[in-house]
């Protein structure tokens, strides 16, 4: 198994969001020899879209993905229109940043204004997601912005994403983008899919259709004490990261490997130590 290419390490800006501004993250990446960056919309909005695009270009960073669009299900037509409009803006921002893809976290059950689920119709939510992606694809494809569906661990089915396995994401791609032109694809985030008995098969399937658009890295800690904000640094948990990378590469993936760690403990750590650890662990255990 060959070592990962150091030039293909990317940092998802959520990893140090608590400690650094967007500008500091861009400078931190450069200082630590990290060539890719994947920013979040709120951080970009805070720093300014044009300013961020300029900073990233000045530093020669590749925007490996833009986080995120999605959240398609809504209680009524007005809600779905609002989601559509917001997603189109996300596509426009991703284009301005020169991102390689817009990551889609598709949304779960429709919620009321207070964020409480108002329905138990999971199949209906999934139909809204499919329709929402189909509609967004009509906007993103001619603009040249690939959409990357990120299947999320089933524990998030109600509140974040009702696409929960890579097979399910591949099925949506088959249905909506049979052309295999790279306009619609998937994100392989190890935190969400490492447990899947069909992972190898489905990575190969995605690769065969040119759908592997991004690879997100972290680790699964035992025990995991918070479902959202207790992701592990690579090497601290139980995910066989080299094996998954091998499956990705065997399926034709040649893109970046993006560290994305939501973690209250790493958010309390000196961000230069975080980035230094990311670089070393990427090299040694990924």
Q: Given candidates 41, 68, 141, 216, which one binds Zn ion under the rule CB under 5 A?
A: 216
Per-residue contact string for residues 133-172; x = within reach of Zn ion by CB under 5 A: ----------------------------------------
Measured from the CB atom, is 236 or 260 closer to Zn ion?
A: 260
Cβ-based nearer residue to Zn ion, 183 or 186: 186
Give the nearer residue to Zn ion in terms of CB position, either 105 or 173: 105
The distance of closest approach from Cβ of residue 95 to Zn ion in the complex, given in angstroms and rounded to an integer, is 21
Residues contacting Zn ion: total by CB under 5 A: 3
Query: Shortest distance, CB of residue 68 to Zn ion, whole angstroms?
Result: 8
CB of 10 to Zn ion, least distance (A): 11
What burial letters (b/e) apply to 202-217, b meaning 16+ CB within 10 Å? bbebbbebbbbbbbbb
Q: Given the complex with Zn ion, which of 16 and 110 has the nearer CB atom?
A: 16
Residue span binding Zn ion (CB under 5 A) among the ranges 76-84, 111-119, 204-212, 257-265: 257-265
User: How far, in Å, CA of 285 to CA of 272, rounded?
Assistant: 19
Rounded to 5°, angle at Cα 54 from 49 and 58: 150
Query: Shortest gap between Cβ of 67 and Zn ion (angstroms)?
Result: 8
Shortest Å distance, C-beta 50 to Zn ion: 26
Q: Which is nearer to Zn ion, 20 or 156 (CB)?
A: 156
Q: Residue for token digits 């032109």?
A: 181
> Could you give the CA distance from residue 168 to residue 153 in angstroms, rounded to a whole number?
12
Q: Which stretch binds Zn ion (CB under 5 A): 48-56, 93-101, 114-122, 186-194?
A: 186-194
Angstrom distance (rounded) from CA 133 to CA 49: 24
Q: What is the residue-wise DSSP string for 144-208?
A: T--EEE----GGGTTTTBS--SHHHHHHHHHHH-TT-SSSEEEEEEHHHHTT-TTHHHHHHHHHH
Q: Say how far apart CA 16 and CA 151 lie, in whole Å.
A: 23
User: Using the rule CB under 5 A, is 189 a contact of Zn ion?
Assistant: yes
Q: Residue 77 CB: number of other CB atoms within 10 A?
A: 8
Least gap, CB of 138 to Zn ion (angstroms): 25
We find the least distance from the C-beta atom of residue 219 to Zn ion, in angstroms, to be 13
Q: What is the C-alpha R_g of the chain?
A: 18
For Zn ion, which is the closer residue by CB, 110 or 203? 203
User: For residue 36, which phi and psi values (nearest 5 degrees)?
Assistant: -120, 155
Q: Rank residues 80 and 278 by Cβ distance to Zn ion and give the closer one.
A: 278
Binding site for Zn ion (CB under 5 A): 189, 216, 260
């Amino acid at each position: 198994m060959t070592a990962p290419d150091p030039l293909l390490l990317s940092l998802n800006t959520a990893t140090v969001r608590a400690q650094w501004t967007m500008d500091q993250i861009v400078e931190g990446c450069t200082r630590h020899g990290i060539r890719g960056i994947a920013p979040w919309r709120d951080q970009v909005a805070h720093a300014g879209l044009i300013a961020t695009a300029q900073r990233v270009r000045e530093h020669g960073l590749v925007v490996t993905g833009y986080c995120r669009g999605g959240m398609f299900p809504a209680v009524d037509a007005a809600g779905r229109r609002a989601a559509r409009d917001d997603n189109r803006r996300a596509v426009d921002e991703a284009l301005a940043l020169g991102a390689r893809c817009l990551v889609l976290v598709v949304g779960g059950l429709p919620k009321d204004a207070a964020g409480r689920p108002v329905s138990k119709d999971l199949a209906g939510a999934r139909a809204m997601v499919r329709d929402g992606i189909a509609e967004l694809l009509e906007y993103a494809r001619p603009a040249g912005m690939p959409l990357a569906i990120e299947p999320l661990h089933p524990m998030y089915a109600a509140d974040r994403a009702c696409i929960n396995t890579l097979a399910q994401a591949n099925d949506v791609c088959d249905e909506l983008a049979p052309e295999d032109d790279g306009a619609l694809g998937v994100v392989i985030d190890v935190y969400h899919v490492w447990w899947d008995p069909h992972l190898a098969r489905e990575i190969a399937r995605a690769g065969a259709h040119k759908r592997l658009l991004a690879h997100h890295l972290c680790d699964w800690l035992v025990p995991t004490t918070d479902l959202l904000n207790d992701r592990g640094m690579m090497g601290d948990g139980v995910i066989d990261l080299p094996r998954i990378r091998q499956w990705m590469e065997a399926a034709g993936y040649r893109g970046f490997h993006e560290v994305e760690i939501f973690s209250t403990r790493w958010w309390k750590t000196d961000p230069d130590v975080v980035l230094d650890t990311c670089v070393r662990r990427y090299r040694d255990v990924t």
